[in-house]
Structures are given as structure tokens and as C-alpha cells.
Amino acid sequence: MYHEHTIGVVIPAYNEEGYVGSVIDTLPSFVDRAYVIDDGSTDDTWLEITDHAAEYNATHSATNGYDARVVPIQHKVNRGVGGAIKTGYLQALEDGIDVTAVMGGDGQMDPDVLTKFIDPVVDGKAHYAKGNRFMKFQTLDAMPQFRLFGNTLLSLLTKISSGYWNISDPQNGYTAISQEALQRVDIDGMYEYYGYCNDLLVRLNLADCRVADVVHSADTVYDDDWKSHINYSAYVPKVSYMLLHRFLWRLNQKYILKDFRPFAAAYYLGAGVTGLGVAKLVSTIATRREQSDNWFFTMLSGIVLLLSAMVLDRIENEEKGVQVRETPTSLSTTDVFKNGRTESKAIPADDD
């Protein structure tokens, strides 16, 4: 338990033999339940999970009425990291866990900094907290360039899709979520591929949840043992299409059906007018007609409408995102930046 809150950790693992055991062994003492999900691994990941779980449970007594601290769960077939996390989230809901974090089974997430992701949720600053490596530019050199470019592109697309315009680095998997947020969003319908984290942000916005970006160093992730299961040639198009679908879903559900906002119509009108301008340009080129400015002004009008809709969308969602940043003082403090204001608080010591 941590500050009167029960804490759960979901640990998805796919072919993490040699890594996932150490993640279990180094779980902080305040963690009440750890759901370690073997997502259809083809190596000895499941054996390693069960062995280390048994050892951990034998040396760490269960808390708050639970029968064990570490709960091994096995998927017979691979469902993707989102599917594994979904299984853990649903189990945490069933167990009544107050705050549920996610830590990878590859050992790339430092357990010593888990509290800085839990704190914004425990303190009521946010319903969901996630890491943001872009908030610490001096460590971005540690991130592979192709990964940095991909994350930057997906960050922009996710801002548009989710409505969290001041939240970045959506692919960061070090997260914590409140029980209330898990109850509000449709976890059963959550995307199961690697874009689960982007999909979850859209769902959180639809549920009017606050999201906190927590400063997170890339140095602790991209070390010599760093590896990735992602096939980027398939990943980027697939997730981009999902984000377009979720954007339209958010727009229709929240700003047309639930409570109409004019900028929703501006999005559709802007897309239509821009598309018309592109069609005019293609027609001009195909028929080799003399140069006409009609396509240019049509396309420009559409782009202006789209940008105006984005500005209004950002204003509508301004207060739903906060940033949590460490300050370089002798005391460990966290600054919460919201709407240009700064709130400082001491980071509490870990509780058992």
C-alpha cells in the first residue's frame, strides 16, 4: 500500500526469458498485486514467471486480504502487448486496486522511479500518468533516430486524435491509472496491438479524465540491452489508420452526439474543402489546362478551417493535461505545470 492506496502493477511479457524474472524480483515493497502476463511466449518465459513468482510470494507476505502478491497469468496465444495489459487491467478492476501501473517485462523500466508515476494519481492531480521523454531533451540522444522520428510523428497524430494537445510521447509505456479511470473507459474494447497506449488516450478523453505527463529520461530505456519487438513497416500505417478512426469516433461521440461543438463541423468542412482543392489540382495537372488559382484558394480555405478547428479543440481540452517535472533542488520536489501556473510539492517517501 502507498499513501492509503492499494497499488497494482501489470507486467506484460512476450519472449522475455532472462529478463522478466528480475522485474518480479525488484518489485517495490509497497506493491500489493503484480499481474505478470505471459502473452503466448514461445520460449521459457512462463516457466521463469512462475518460478520467480513462487519465490517472491514465499518471501513477501500478501497484503490487504489478497492471497498472493504476484499473480502469474498466461495467454495461450499471443494477443499483443495491449491485450496483455488489458488482461491485467481487468484483473486489477476485479481486485479493487486503487492505482494500477504498467511496467514492461523486459526490465527497461526502473522500479525505483515508480512512485513518480503513481504520485499524480494518488494526489488527485490526474486519473492517468505516463512518462514523457521529450520533457528531458538532454537525454534524447540516447533514443535511436528512427525511433525518435516515429515517436514525434505519432505524438502529433495522437494529439489530434485524442484531444490531449499538451501531452506528448504517447508511446511511453511507463504509466499509472486510477480505478475510477478504468471504470470510466471501455477497457474491453481497448486496442490490443502496440497502439493500445494511443487508443487509451482517446478513451480517457471521451471519459473526461485528466492525464499527466511525467518527465522520464530516455537514458534508462535505451541501454545496451535495449530491444524492440515492433515491425515499424507494419506498425506506423496500422496505428495511423487506428488513430484516424479513433479521432472520428471522439469527434462524433463527444462533440456531435453528446454535446455539439461548432469546431466538429469545422473539422469535417475543412477536410472536405481541402479534399476538393486537391481534386482540382489533380484535374488541372491531368488535363494540362492553363494554370488556375482556383485549386490553391480552395485548398487554402480548407487548411484554414482545419487549423481553426484544431485551435478550438485545444482550447476545449486545455485543462485535461498537466505536466509533472522534477526540479533540481536538494529536496526531491515535483512541479505541476497547468495552464501556465506552477504548483510545487514534495515527493513523499515510499510506504510499505
* pLDDT beyond 70 at 337: no
pLDDT the model gives residue 135: 62
Range with lowest mean pLDDT among 27-36, 148-157, 278-287, 333-342:
333-342
Provide mean pLDDT across the span 1-13.
95
* pLDDT beyond 80 at 83: yes
Provide mean pLDDT across the span 324-352.
42
pLDDT the model gives residue 148: 65
* pLDDT beyond 50 at 352: no
User: Model confidence over 59-69: pLDDT tens digits?
Assistant: 999 988 899 99
- At 42, list the grid cell: 514461445
Provide mean pLDDT across the span 155-174.
91
* pLDDT beyond 90 at 336: no
Give the pTM.
Answer: 0.84
Q: Work out the percent of the chain whose per-residue pLDDT is above 70.
A: 82
* pLDDT beyond 80 at 264: yes
- Mapping DSSP onto H, E and C, the string for the chain reads CECCECEEEEEEECCCCCCHHHHHHCCCCCCCEEEEEEECCCCCHHHHHHHHHHHHHHHCCCCCCCCCCEEEEEECCCCCHHHHHHHHHHHHHHHCCCEEEECCCCCCCCHHHHHHHHHHHHCCCCCEEEEEHHHCHHHHHHCCHHHHHHHHHHHHHHHHHHCCCCCCCCCCCCEEEEHHHHHHCCHHHCCCCCCHHHHHHHHHHHCCCCEEEEECCHHHCCCCCCCCCCCHHHHHHHHHHHHHHHHHHHHHHHHHHHCCCHHHHHHHHHHHHHHHHHHHHHHHHHHCCCCCCHHHHHHHHHHHHHHHHHHHHHHHCHHHEEEEEECCCCCCEEEEEECCEEEEEECCCCCC
User: Model confidence over 230-263: pLDDT tens digits?
Assistant: 666 677 788 889 999 999 999 999 999 988 999 9
